[in-house]
């Protein structure tokens, strides 16, 4: 059963990349973040079936994979929008007005926190501390851009530039727009 599931999820192209990736680590478990990222890029988001296959492939309990997937905001367990706002709601950002920023985005985008627009263009999530408290209130846009010292004007500008496709950054790099 496990082997069947592994073969189903780790199709030859992905299996080859995963094997190379796992070989770079001292233990199979240590490669979990990169393996999940690889599968998410390939499938678009992570399902329970993918999580089970990763657990079987790495030889670890499925609950360990679940914990990783649910801890990091960069992992998506449902289809993701093209343009994603993750607004920090933890203490520093909360004290600096993140609730107001979230409400403003809800009104602008016409969705509630945790939702995606029906056309799949935009989504809005409230997340825990993203490690950039010094620029509170802040948000993460897509996977690689940090925007801080948020104001309604800055959110308007961010939305407008995102509409024009100006938010592309070099892959994997976080950028602070402060």
Indicate whether 133 belongs to the interface with ligand FES (CB under 6 A): yes
Kindly state the smallest distance separating residue 71's Cβ from ligand FES, in Å.
16
> Residue 88 in contact with residue 130, Cβ under 8 Å?
yes
Q: Is the Cβ of residue 47 or residue 90 nearer to ligand FES in the bound state? A: 90
Task: State the helix-helix crossing angle for 48-58 and 62-71, rounded to 10 degrees.
Answer: 120
The mark string for 92-131 relative to ligand FES (x by CB under 6 A, - otherwise) is xx-----------------------------------xxx
- Residue 75 phi/psi, 5° resolution? -100, 135
Indicate whether 91 belongs to the interface with ligand FES (CB under 6 A): yes
Interacting span for ligand FES (CB under 6 A) from 83-91, 99-107, 152-160, 167-175 = 83-91
Q: In the set 32, 65, 124, 136, which binds ligand FES (CB under 6 A)?
A: 136
Q: Is the Cβ of residue 65 or residue 135 nearer to ligand FES in the bound state? A: 135
Helices (H), the chain: 2-9, 12-22, 32-43, 48-58, 62-71, 91-95, 98-109, 152-163
Neighbours of 12 (CB within 10 A): 8
Indicate whether 159 belongs to the interface with ligand FES (CB under 6 A): no
- CA 121 to chain centroid, in Å, comes to 15
Q: What angle do CA 117, 120, 122 make, to 5 degrees?
A: 55
| Residues near ligand FES (CB under 6 A) | 88, 90-93, 129-133, 136, 138
């Amino acid at each position: 059963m496990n082997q069947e599931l592994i073969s189903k999820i780790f199709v030859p192209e992905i299996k080859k990349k995963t094997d190379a990736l796992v070989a770079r680590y001292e233990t199979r478990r240590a490669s979990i973040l990169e393996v999940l990222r690889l599968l998410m890029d390939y499938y678009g988001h992570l399902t329970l079936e993918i999580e089970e296959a990763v657990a079987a492939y790495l030889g670890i309990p499925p609950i360990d994979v679940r914990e990783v997937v649910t801890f990091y905001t960069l992992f998506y367990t449902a289809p993701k929008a093209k343009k994603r706002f993750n607004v920090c709601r933890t203490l520093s950002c909360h004290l600096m007005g993140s609730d107001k920023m979230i409400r403003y985005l809800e009104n602008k985008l016409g969705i509630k926190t945790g939702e995606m627009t029906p056309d799949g263009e935009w989504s809005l999530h409230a997340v825990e501390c993203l490690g950039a408290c010094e620029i509170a209130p802040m948000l993460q846009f897509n996977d690689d851009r940090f925007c801080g010292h948020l104001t309604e004007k800055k959110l308007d500008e961010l939305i407008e530039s995102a509409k024009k496709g100006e938010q592309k950054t070099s892959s994997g790099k976080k950028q602070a727009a402060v």
